Structure 1
Amino acid sequence: MTTTLGTASAGPGEMDTGRLEVGETRDGSPFGLPVAVINGAASGDTLYMQAASDGDELNGVGVIQRVVPQLDPATISGTILIVGIVNYHAFQVAEHRNPIDDTKMNRAYPGNENGTSSERIAAATFDVATRADIILDLHQGSTSRMLDEVRVRCGTRHRLYDECLELAKVFGCGYILDQKGPDGQLARAAPNEGIPTVDPELGGAVGWDRESIRKGVDGVFNVLRYYGFLESDAELTRQTRASGFEQYGAPSGGLVDLQKELGNRVASGETLFEVTTPFGEPKSTVTANSNGILWRIRRLPQVATGEYVCSVGTDIDSY
């Protein structure tokens, strides 16, 4: 059976790319999101992938750019639907939020087809996503530095929690953040429709990071193998899981001197960072509230009072 997504249309054993029209720009010109359909020669489930719902998170785009040329529809069972760039307006200007309505796209799901720019895009992509059996929403930690991890956002009491956690383990970045996410995330909304969904957060970079992209490509292919889209064995390894997430800001302005490296274990009461003047004079010291792992850190050393510095994943175990 032929599968269509926007202007892309592919019969069994075929692949096609096109555009999903979702509105008009300020000069009245129509715009569309880049989409792809890979329709396997054999029947099977449907996987939906999307990237760049936050316009400066480009590692997911890098993953799709590398995955699609390696996919041969003749060897695939099932269908793969892809929206390569979700936040069209933010991507064009390399910003995190949609500049048309100053909205973070991954807080707009399931969207509203008659709403704001972001709500309309969310509604259009949610309509595609809910055609699938599995969803991968590719992200990164914006331009901060962060571990490569996968986020399970539905919450431990959700009926699809076990399936979402299994999907996160299969993707296999090495780390899982298992914490219920805020309303409006695709990984919160789609499980309510009965579809296991996770957010692979592929590091953090200005532009993109090749190592994080490589892990994302490996993760996508592991999902394809595990869920029967490809006829080969998936590799499952134990993941380090955090169920808590503590964020730390600067108590004073100045220059941050981090005392730990990304991924280091942190003990409660241990120094995370110091803030100094430009002359190295100490101003303040911040210690960890809990045992955990240094999960995310700001990229630039200069901070104002109260500005974000780092995050620690807590309640650590192995899954």
Structure 2
Amino acid sequence: MRTVGSASAAPGEIDTGRLAVGETRDGAEFGLPVAVVNGRKEGKTLYLQAVSDGDELNGLGVVSRVVPRLDPTDLAGEVLVVGIANYHAFQVAEHRNPIDDTKLNRTYPGDPIGSASERIADATYEVAAEADLVLDLHQGSTSRMIDEARVRCGRHHRLHDDCLELARVFDTGHVLDRRGPDGQLARVAPDDGIPAIDPELGGAIGWDESSIEVGVRGVFNVLEHYGFLDGDPQPGSQVRARSFERYGAPKGGLVRFTVDLGEEVARGDVIFEIIDAFGSVRARITADHDGVFWRSRRLPQVATGEYVCSIGRGIDTI
């Protein structure tokens, strides 16, 4: 029998329930929606999590499509799912937890007597720590962004190659191989011997069908590659970046991009212009280095110094 919160499933069964993590402001207990898919055959354990940031919903779209397609009688091993991790932020469609003004994915492994976010991190990491693999599904929130998988443990970590392989199998087409900030789930889990990545599924606000389908395919690639399900996924070659170069606005006005997401750029290429309300060009910005146009702001209006876009650097193919 495998139990997560109120969800319990014997081999060959699936169950859903809630993982209690605290109380709301009116004193009512609340819990995170969880699912346990317990395969009939023995195998590895996959931990799958979504909505660590309350306005990043594409991961929830993935979970809502993956779980109904999992037949525990065909599964070897277990899939443990937290469908909505950042409960408070999800309720108000905000990025950070409004109870403590904290980004949940900076609080792992958590604290059972800490802040609201630390308590959620503690409860979810207790589940994740039982897994052999971790997928923490994210998206670019309010930015426009390519689909990518992020390896956050750092290139000198003992599990780096395992995490990179997990990202390659997930197969978004792009990988960011760069050590992440302290407190990220995909940073903490490898320290405990668990390969982990955080796929960033596009950058749409809300619900982007194309990025959700990329995530669904990625989860099933992982399930097949690591023996949970029969299958032999064949991931294609993928572009890897090792760092970002951020560009800000030298003038105020409207941004007009001259390259598309995922497009290669060379040093000296024009990547965006800033125009005034009548279309006159006020500034023309070129790339400082070769790279890939990785991420950009969604709305066109900018003030001086405001973030505009990012170029992925240190590019190769894996």
Fold match by TM threshold 0.5: yes
Residues 57-206 of structure 1: matches in 2 within 5 Å? 57-206=56-205
CA distance in 1, matches of 2:284, 2:97: 36
CA offset digits 1:186-218 (Å, max 9, x no partner): 110110000000011100111111011111000
Q: Which moved more, 1:95-104 or 1:234-243?
A: 234-243
CA offset digits 1:51-84 (Å, max 9, x no partner): 0000011000000000000000000000100000
Residues 173-252 of structure 1: matches in 2 within 5 Å? 173-252=172-251
CA distance in 1, matches of 2:280, 2:286: 18
CA distance in 1, matches of 2:181, 2:12: 39
CA distance in 1, matches of 2:248, 2:57: 26
CA distance in 2, matches of 1:262, 1:162: 27
- Cα displacement (A) at 1:280: 2.0
- What amino acid is aligned across from residue 64 of structure 1 in structure 2? V
- Residue number in structure 1 paired with 2:284: 285
- Cα displacement (A) at 1:284: 2.2
Q: Which moved more, 1:250-259 or 1:221-230?
A: 250-259
- What amino acid is aligned across from residue 166 of structure 1 in structure 2? E
CA offset digits 1:136-167 (Å, max 9, x no partner): 00001112111111000100100000000000
- Cα displacement (A) at 1:111: 1.1
CA distance in 1, matches of 2:246, 2:123: 33
CA distance in 2, matches of 1:21, 1:249: 43
- What amino acid is aligned across from residue 27 of structure 1 in structure 2? D
CA offset digits 1:115-150 (Å, max 9, x no partner): 111111111111110010000000011121111110
- Cα displacement (A) at 1:282: 2.6
- TM-score, L = length of structure 2: 0.98
- Residue number in structure 1 paired with 2:20: 21
CA distance in 2, matches of 1:170, 1:191: 17
- What amino acid is aligned across from residue 133 of structure 1 in structure 2? D
- 1:190 alignment partner, SS class: helix
CA distance in 1, matches of 2:143, 2:231: 36
Residues 44-59 of structure 1: matches in 2 within 5 Å? 44-59=43-58
Unaligned runs of 5+ in 2: none
Between the two proteins, the alignment pairs up a number of residues equal to 318
- Cα displacement (A) at 1:112: 1.1
CA distance in 2, matches of 1:190, 1:203: 23
CA offset digits 1:80-132 (Å, max 9, x no partner): 00000000011011111111111111111111111111111111111110010
- What amino acid is aligned across from residue 300 of structure 1 in structure 2? L
CA distance in 2, matches of 1:45, 1:284: 54
CA distance in 2, matches of 1:12, 1:253: 60
- 2:315 alignment partner, SS class: strand
- Cα displacement (A) at 1:231: 1.6
Unaligned runs of 5+ in 1: none
- What amino acid is aligned across from residue 30 of structure 2 in structure 1? F
- Residue number in structure 2 paired with 1:260: 259
- Cα displacement (A) at 1:291: 0.3
- 1:256 alignment partner, SS class: strand
- Cα displacement (A) at 1:283: 2.3
- Cα displacement (A) at 1:251: 1.7
- What amino acid is aligned across from residue 112 of structure 2 in structure 1? E
CA distance in 1, matches of 2:74, 2:268: 54
CA offset digits 1:258-304 (Å, max 9, x no partner): 11111111111221111122122332222211101101111100112
- 2:139 alignment partner, SS class: coil
- Identity, in percent, stands at 65
- Residue number in structure 2 paired with 1:30: 29
